[in-house]
Amino acid sequence: MDNQCQIAIEKLDKNNFQVWKFRIMNFLMGKGYWEFGTGDEKKPLLPENPIQQQIQANKTWHEKIRKILYWLFLIVSMIVHIQDAKSSKQAWDTLVKMYNTNTQACKM
C-alpha cells in the first residue's frame, strides 16, 4: 500500500498560510514531488510512435501530478479556489497568489 497519502498538515485557511506553505513544501520535497508541483518537472513528450518506456514515463508524470492535486484537496479548507485546476502547478500558483496577497494585506 502507498503510505505516501498520509499527511499530518493542518488544513490551509486564511490565518495559517506561511506555516502551511512551509510544511507542504517540505512534505513535497521529502516525497520527491516538489518539481512536479512547481512545474519544473516537465511533462514527457510522446512522439508519434512512442516506445513503452516513453509511455510509462508519461503515465508516471500524470500520476504524480494527480497525487499532488489529491494531497492539496485534502489540506485546503476552501477547495473551491482550486477545484478546476488542471495541474498541481496551477493549483499551487492559485493558492500562493490568493493567500500571499491576503497575508500581506493583513500585515499592513
Q: Are 37 and 68 a contacting pair, CB within 8 Å?
A: yes
108 pLDDT tier (thresholds 50, 70, 90): very low
Q: Are 58 and 43 a contacting pair, CB within 8 Å?
A: yes
Q: With 70 as the cut, is the pLDDT of residue 60 above it?
A: yes
Mean local confidence (pLDDT), 73-102: 87
Q: pTM (2 decimals)?
A: 0.77
Phi/psi of residue 12, nearest 5 degrees: -70, 135
Mean local confidence (pLDDT), 29-39: 89
Instruction: Please tell me the predicted confidence (pLDDT) of residue 1.
Output: 35
Residue 11: name the closest of 25, 21, 26, 1 by CA.
Answer: 21
